[in-house]
Amino acid sequence: MIRNQFAKAVLVATGFVLLCVVPGMAWEQSALPVAVQTPNGARPGVQPKKDALPTNDFDGLNYTDAQKAELAKIHRETESHKALVVKDQKLTEDQKNALLLGYTRMEYTEEFKVLTPEQQRQVRQKLLARKASAQAAQKKQPPRN
């Protein structure tokens, strides 16, 4: 029984740590970049909010074979971690969503490191353009009362 309590506490703490691992990515939740989205059937009942999954910032980049292999490896590892989270019956939906979002952020960061400096510049430009358009759209909306 003590083992289960300890394991649960470690898992919850890990989730919070994962959310804090990438301090440079402290954007609005709706502006979080996602490298690869899993099909809807992969995580039945446990999915982050749709506005937390924006467009793919890596679209349109030309990868070398070595980059493709490394990106595939990162994606496989992340998906295996996410699958374990989804299957864990001890976690609440909120805990699962937090862990899945944390793994998505970590995947994005690892994939970004694989890119060349020019590719990284292109991704940053896409991100900044998307943030600017989101801010402009937010300014156009009337204030809520």
- Which long-range contacts does 132-140 make (Cβ < 8 Å, 24+ apart)? 134/28, 134/30, 134/31
Q: Are 86 and 96 in contact (CB under 8 A)?
A: yes
What's the rounded mean pLDDT across residues 36-53? 46
| Measured distance CA(114)–CA(120) in Å, rounded | 9
- Summarize pLDDT for 90-141 with one digit per residue, the tens: 999 999 999 999 999 999 999 999 999 999 999 999 999 989 988 888 888 7
| Measured distance CA(31)–CA(68) in Å, rounded | 25
- Summarize pLDDT for 58-88 with one digit per residue, the tens: 888 899 999 999 999 999 999 999 999 999 9
Q: How many helices (H) and strands (E) does the chain have?
A: 4, 0
Q: Is the model's pTM score more than 0.95?
A: no
CA quadruple 88, 52, 106, 55: dihedral sign? positive
